[in-house]
Structure 1
Amino acid sequence: MQALLDTIATLDLPTDAGRVFHGRGGQHPGCERWALDAFPPVWVLTAFRPATDDELAAIDAALAARWAELAPGQALNWVHQCRHEGRTETRLMAGAVPEPHVVTENGSLFRVHLLKGQNHGLFLDMAEGRRWVRAYCAAHPGLKVLNLFAYTCAFSVVALQAGARQVVNLDMSQGALAIGQQNHALNGLADGAAFLAHDLFKSWGKITRAGPYGLVIVDPPSFQKGSFVATKDYARLMRRLPDLLTRGGHAVLCLNAPELETGFLQEQMQVQAPDLHFEQRLTNPPAFADSAPERALKVLVYRAPG
């Protein structure tokens, strides 16, 4: 745990949301179960095995000491979440969590929720994916974008901010899309976004009729029974991409499954959509550096012919 404590002792005052310690990346031996994130003004410590009272007390003391240096007189706010054997337990350890809680990333505003559920409303490891989408939409103003498995629609926010004409957001969760609508409102985006609470595999007709799209973003769960299982459902989706994309349009394919390597997506694409050209795998944020990159988030960019 010493590497985590050493990192806390040298923390900077955060402005944007982001990861500050990534034990799961395997670069800090003995700390593989720990992650520390900043969702200003709250810190979130995640443990992937139960922590002892002594460990939590040591982390609390380290955070308190550093926070007194960074923000004298201000209350320390931190949350502990334990994820173990399919269960998630979240506790407020000190201070308070704002309600509503809004964080920033590269000038965009996003609502997050730290005390309920495993996911917080903004996937921090996808920051470079959002950066790429922002740059792509800025370079191709007036794009129509399809955002599949949209969750809380962060991709949609940055696409519209960068000049996209329209974004179609699709997700099975009405609750996630409702937060997505709040995110658009927070950023002053009153027009250009559609929010469809549909099962993708029952909605191809509607999605195809609304196309074609200059950019298709695919960011599914790797395994969510009743929604998407990567090993069987990604192929079904890939074969639809040529009909969804404009000539020269791009697809961003995301996969966050440690057991599946980049080759899984590339081989499936070669079979299902061989005319689409692989351009690059996006680099993950430096804070998510991994000693085994194939275990980490994979974000691949493909281009349609023309």
Structure 2
Amino acid sequence: MPSPSVPTSAPLATPRLKLTVSPAAERSLRAGHPWVYESSVRGQNRPGEAGELAVVYDRRNRFLAVGLYDPHSPLRLRVLHAGSPATVDRAWWQARFDAALLRRAGLFGPETDGYRVINGESDGFPGLVVDRYADTLVLKLYSAAWFPHLPLVLDLLAGAFPGLRVVLRLSRNIGALAAELGLADGQTLVGEAPEGAVVFHESGIAFEADVVRGQKTGFFLDQRENRRRVRDLAAGKKVLNAFSFSGGFSLYAAQGRVSEVVSLDISRHALDSSERNFALNPALTAPHRAVQADVFEWLTEGRELFDLVILDPPSLARRESEREGAIRAYGRLARDGIRRLERGGLLLSASCSAHVSAEEFWDAVRAAADRSGRPWREVARTRHAPDHHASFPEAQYLKAIYLQFED
């Protein structure tokens, strides 16, 4: 694959791809939104190829924005720059990459070598994510527009992280297009392929990450700050970690010296991973119990009580049509979680559903607390971790709320 010095796949003799868009899309671009949908494109001077730089002009034929074109996606253009014209060359990309690294400088010490390096649109790399797990970088692509620019991206990563392995992960919708180029999900692009899970550290705790086949890029790095808060709140408590997956909250609770922690998940595979993570950390001696069950059913059927209940389900609304049902489900989960709290217990309820707004989610949890008839107070509300910052509304998916019950 040739290494482009300027990120464009069009021959020099080919005229620049030019788009005109709807008035609503013009307003959106001026406001800083990073996407142009297919339905908003009113005209273009020629067909475009995935990864081409396309320039958007307004109704007066003035430069409006430049971005990566993707003819295979309803999200037709991922904006790189808007406002005045800019030269998108190797130096431009390097400056944007360096800014992403600088944004994270000082966030993580030697006890944490798992974190997000590039967070897509919010770091100026729309449709591209890079996570680090110790000696492994996971590069996840959500658009075929990045395929022509893989050499450029790998060169940027090599300059900042020499010697680190790079594993490619692909969004499902671009797998077939990747295969045409000899690319595959889980493929090692740089270095030797990992033998099994990669072990990394977060706040001094060792975790395994399945970077080849695991969910997201191998681990849920985005909940790190909430895990740290749980650690600081957990001393002496009996803790329930519902939807525990590989036990992130459970290990942090153990680090906080809980009396006992229960990991609850419907997946045996996930629970096995949590037990392997505990085995990686022999200094965490708090009693740990793994329970395989449907969380919704288990919460309603049992009577066991806890001092701290953590509800961190997978997304309950993967599309807008599921939003109302998800809001009801979050309220039901909170209701049943509250019923499992001892007097003076603490509830942590989290959501990663982008289609449910933070206020809708928080209101659903607070309404469940009101209906419980128990006096309560709000301790905290949290959003994205600093390495997962979100610069536009559609990227703002993560939210959590902590409620303290007085009796």
Pick the TM interval, shorter chain.
0.7 to 0.9
> Any unmatched runs of 5+ in structure 2?
1-79, 81-87, 176-183, 319-324
Normalising by the residue count of structure 1, what TM-score does the alignment of the two structures yield?
A: 0.84
Pick the aligned partner of 2:308 from 210, 215, 233: 215
Does residue 1:166 correspond to 2:260, yes or no?
yes
- The Cα offsets for residues 142-168 of structure 1, whole Å up to 9 and x where unpaired, read as 200011000001111110111101011
Please give the alpha-carbon distance, in whole angstroms, between the structure 2 residues aligned to 1:7 and 1:35.
Answer: 14
**AA aligned opposite 1:296:** Y
Q: 1:259 Cα deviation (Å)?
A: 1.5
Deviations 1:165-192 (A, max 9, x none): 1011110000010010011111114551
Structure 2 counterpart of 1:94: 190
String of CA shifts for 1:247-280, please: whole Å, max 9, x gaps.
2211111111112112222222343221443222
Q: Which residue, out of 280, 289, 294, partners 2:380?
A: 280
1:98-113 equivalences in 2 (<5 Å): 98-113=195-210
- Counterpart-to-counterpart distance in 1, 2:167 and 2:95: 19
SS of 1:178's equivalent in the other structure is helix
Structure 1 match to 2:20: none
Question: What residue is the counterpart of 2:27 in the other structure?
Answer: none
In 2, Cα distance between the equivalents of 1:86 and 1:221? 23
Name the aligned partner's letter for residue 241 of structure 2.
N
* Unmatched 5+ stretches in structure 1: 69-74
Work out the CA distance in 1 between the residues paired with 2:301 and 2:390.
Answer: 39
Give the AA of the match of 1:220.
Answer: P
The separation in 1 between residues aligned to 2:280 and 2:341, in whole angstroms, is 30
Choose which of 255, 260, 277 in structure 1 pairs with 2:356. Answer: 260
Farther off after superposition, 102-111 or 44-53: 44-53
Q: Which residue of 1 aligns with 2:405?
A: 304
| Aligned-residue offset at 1:80 | 1.6
Whole-angstrom distance in 2 between the partners of 1:86 and 1:151: 26
1:45-97 CA-partner distances (Å, limit 9, x unpaired): 111112444300111122223334xxxxxx33101212153969332111122
Contact 1:91 1:115 in 2 (8 A): yes
The DSSP-based 3-state class of the residue aligned with 1:128 is helix
The question of whether the paired residues in 2 share the 8 Å contact of 1:241 and 1:273 is answered with no
Contact 1:16 1:105 in 2 (8 A): yes
Aligned CA RMSD, in angstroms, stands at 2.7
Distance 1:169 1:40, change over 3 A: same
The aligned residue for residue 148 of structure 2 is 54
1:235 aligns with 2:328: no
Letter in 1 for 2:387: A
Q: Of the two, which has the highest radius of gyration?
A: 2
Is the partner of 2:185 in helix, strand or coil? strand
* Local SS of the residue matching 2:272: helix
Distance 1:297 1:52, change over 3 A: closer
Q: How many correspondences in the alignment?
A: 289
Which residue, 228, 237, 245 being the options, matches 1:143? 237
Identity, in percent, stands at: 28
- The aligned counterpart of 1:71 is none
In structure 2, the partner of 1:72 is none
